Amino acid sequence: MRIVDPTSGIAPSETVAVAASSGSPAGALCGLSNSKPGAHDLLEAIGRRLADDHGLGPHGLEAKPSAAVGADPALLDHLAARYRLAVVAIGD
Amino acid sequence: MNTDTLDLPEVDDAWAWMAACEERGWGDGLPTIPPTEERVATMLAGAPSVDLGPLPPRGVTPTLRSIAANAVMAGCRPADLPVLLAAIAAVQDEAYNLHGTLATTHPCAPMVLVSGPVRETLGLNSGGNCLGPGTRGNAVIGRALSLVLLHVGGARPGVLDRSTQGSPAKYTFCFAEADSPFDPLAVQRGFAPGESVVSVMAAEPPHNVNDHGSTTGAEILLTVAGTMAQPGSNNVYVRGPHLLLLGPEHAATLHRDGWTPASIRAHLWEHARIPVAHVSEGNRRQFVEWGVEPDGDAYTVSDAPENLHLAVAGGAGKHSAWIPSFGGTALVSRVVP
Amino acid sequence: MRSILVVTSSFLPLVTAQAKARRADPRLVVVDHPIGGLSPEEFAGREETAYAGVVAELRSMGEL
């Protein structure tokens, strides 16, 4: 039997752009959570311990406006401009 | 030979086709019709052209042939294809938030509500059991949309579709609105009365509103408001749209008493409230993080009266339905091409 | 900007598929699912795993 592949289509051409900060970032590390309570708590703890144990900081903590939607590109640009590193938490 | 075709030499009957689908992770678990080249060509004869973008989460852009293949698998007739295409275009609207609705743990499904003359052309059911089985058009159009999202979009349950429990509505969720004393939903949304329109929303299955005892519109709305006041709904804190689908008998009583879609909406905004005492402390803290505070001693359902949409469908009986949504979505309407 | 992704095991297939679709190769730290609704003791275990994973990744990146 010959069929039309129901999964077929035009493959994505999108690639991930790696944003780099220009100049000196204000902070070393930021956390970005998917806005679920556990993810926020986890990032808070990781940031605190990295600062205490390794002096890695200052750090910021941001979240998507809602777990239901993607992160605002403006927020990602803002973080990329201000921080060198990001820890992103996706959990529930 | 097209590059989107597959030879399946081992498939020589319906059982072998089902096994081939299962092996590849295709389908919804129910039998499908093999999308042979001949059947796909028949489906595409006279098909309108539409401009479609990539479907998340996989990011693949469907072609008319891949859409037609899924329509064949679902059991669609060629005449159903324009409604399916309108529904696909509607869920691709940014406001619908297709990626979020497909990857979420919430059980939302792509609800398809059909308005206008195409309801009669396709024999879609807007009457008794319109949300249930029994009518081919309702069953196959909703199913075809789900299959497109599954196969082309890649929203495979357990992999990219992360729904905690899912819902029966994920198999198919398509119905037509009935003629009623009120303006049809599409007309309420600015479309011309003669236009055929598809409206989509990432929705929970319908929540029944049983009210046999009330004799006035105000009494019926008291029951509706109580049904809507649920602390476990996404609409409470994610906000977004929800739909009140009035049964025709409830709609007739409301109309007789002078209610309009606008006044129903305004009344339910004031009276469908969730007492703070019905919401756990942990949830109250989370709601605050999401920017949602109670209005006095109760929470509103969603963030504005305009987010409650209203339509009429169903047969004889004293039942209506409240259909909450994923919250982070919109009710999106498109004209059928 | 360099990043590390902390993901619960339940969401790993989603993250992996998304990364593939976008041709990305994220640094992943996987912790047991869930991370919400846990007792303080249960959460501490998740925190420990996540922290150790992030530290290991930062070391491999030359940041620590």
pLDDT digits (tens, 9 = 90+) for B144-202: 999 999 999 999 998 889 999 999 999 999 999 999 999 999 999 999 999 999 999 99
State how far the alpha carbon of C47 is from the alpha carbons of A28, B41, B255, B286, C34, in Å. Answer: 21, 56, 58, 20, 12
Residue A19 lies in a domain: no
Q: How many contacts does A have with C, using Cβ atoms within 8 A? A: 109
Residue type, B45: A
Q: What is the pLDDT of residue A26?
A: 63
Strand partners, B175: B113
Residue B280: HSE in the Cβ half-sphere, 13 Å Cα cutoff: 5
The complex's ipTM works out to 0.93
Residues B7, A2: contact at Cβ < 8 Å?
yes
* CA-based nearest residue in chain A for residue C47: A42
Residues whose CB falls within 8 Å of the CB of residue B273, separated by 6 or more in sequence, listed in order: B225, B229, B295, B298, B299, B300, B301
- CA-based nearest distance C8→chain B, Å: 12
Q: Is A33 contained in some domain?
A: yes
Q: Note the pLDDT of residue A28.
A: 83
Domain membership of residue A2 (yes or no) is no
Say if the Cβ atoms of C17 and B159 lie within 8 Å: yes
A20: in domain = no
The mean pLDDT value for C34-61 works out to 93
Interfacial B residues in 8-67 facing A (CB < 8 Å): 8-9, 11-12, 17, 26, 34-37, 40, 54-55, 58-63, 65-66
**Quick one: pLDDT band at residue B214, thresholds 50, 70, 90?**
very high
Q: Is the pLDDT of residue B277 over 80?
A: yes
Position B96 pLDDT exceeds 80: yes
Cβ distance B184 to B311 under 8 Å?
yes
Measure Cα distances from C42 to B4, B104, C33, C45, C47 in Å.
Answer: 49, 24, 11, 5, 9
pLDDT (average), residues C29-46: 91
Three-class DSSP category at C16: helix
Q: Is the pLDDT of residue B76 over 80?
A: yes
d(CA B100, CA B275): 29
Above 80 in pLDDT, residue A24? no
pLDDT attached to residue C24: 87
Which residue do the tokens 């970032």 mark?
A25
Number of structural domains chain A divides into: 1
| Sign of the alpha-carbon torsion through B110, B111, B116, B117 | positive
Say whether residue B158 is in contact with chain C using an 8 A CB cutoff: yes
Residue B160 and residue C17: Cβ atoms within 8 Å?
yes
Neighbours of B12 (CB within 10 A): 10
Tens of pLDDT along A45-82? 999 999 999 988 778 888 887 777 888 888 888 888 88
- Give the C-alpha separation, A43 to A8, whole Å: 39
| pLDDT higher than 60, residue B53 | yes
In angstroms, the separation between the Cα of residue B131 and the nearest Cα of chain C is 31
Q: How far apart are CA B60 and CA B53, in angstroms?
A: 8
Quick one: what percent of chain C has pLDDT higher than 70? 100
Subunits that touch chain A (at least 3 Cβ pairs < 8 angstroms)?
B, C
Element (H, E) at B298: strand B298-300
What is the domain extent for residue A33? Answer: 27-89
**Interfacial B residues in 159-198 facing A (CB < 8 Å):** none
Report the pLDDT value the prediction gives residue B163, as an integer from 0 to 100. 94
Distance CA A70, CA A34 (A): 9
Quick check: A50 and A58 in contact, CB under 8 A?
no
Q: A69-83, B26-40, C39-53: which has the minimum mean pLDDT? A: A69-83
Q: Does residue A12 lie within any of the structural domains?
A: no
* pLDDT computed for residue B34 by the predictor: 98
Nearest by CB: A68 against B37, B154, B326: B326
Residues B146, B87: contact at Cβ < 8 Å?
no
C62 Cβ under 8 Å from any chain A Cβ? no
pLDDT of res. A68: 79
Please indicate, yes or no, if residue A8 is contained in any of the structural domains: no
A61: in domain: yes
Q: What is the domain partition of chain C in residue ranges?
A: 4-60
- B31 touches B20 (CB < 8 A): no
Determine the pLDDT at residue A65: 78
Residue A40's pLDDT band (boundaries 50, 70, 90)? confident
